[in-house]
Amino acid sequence: MKFDRWTRRATLLLATLTVLLSGCTTYVTSQVTAFSDWSGNDATRTYAFTRAADQQNNLELTTYERLVGNELATHAFRQVDTSQARYLVGLSYGIRSDMVTVAQPVYYNPWPAPYWGRPFDPWGPWGAFPTAYVNQSYPIFTHLLGVRITERASGKEVYNVTARNSDEESSLVRAMPYLARSALADFPLGNGVVHTVKIPVDKNGGVSNEVATTGAAPAAAPASAPGAKVLQ
In a domain, 134, yes or no: no
Task: Tell me what pLDDT residue 183 has.
Answer: 98
Task: Tell me what pLDDT residue 138 has.
Answer: 82
In a domain, 120, yes or no: no
Task: Tell me what pLDDT residue 135 has.
Answer: 84
pTM for the full predicted model: 0.69
Task: Tell me what pLDDT residue 228 has.
Answer: 28
Task: Tell me what pLDDT residue 129 has.
Answer: 59
CATH number at residue 82: 3.30.160.670
Domain that holds residue 175: 27-98+140-218
Stretches in the chain below the pLDDT threshold 50: 1-3, 6-23, 116-118, 217-232
Task: Tell me what pLDDT residue 25 has.
Answer: 63
In a domain, 78, yes or no: yes
In a domain, 13, yes or no: no
3-class secondary-structure state, position 8: helix
Overall domain count for the chain: 1
Q: What angle do CA 48, 54, 56 make, to 5 degrees?
A: 40
DSSP-derived letter for residue 207 is B
CA-wise closest residue to 182 among 163, 155, 154:
163
CA-wise closest residue to 30 among 157, 207, 205, 153:
207
In a domain, 214, yes or no: yes
Strand stretches in 109-192, DSSP E: 129-151, 157-167
In a domain, 224, yes or no: no
Q: What is the Cα 29 distance to its own chain's centre?
A: 3
In a domain, 196, yes or no: yes
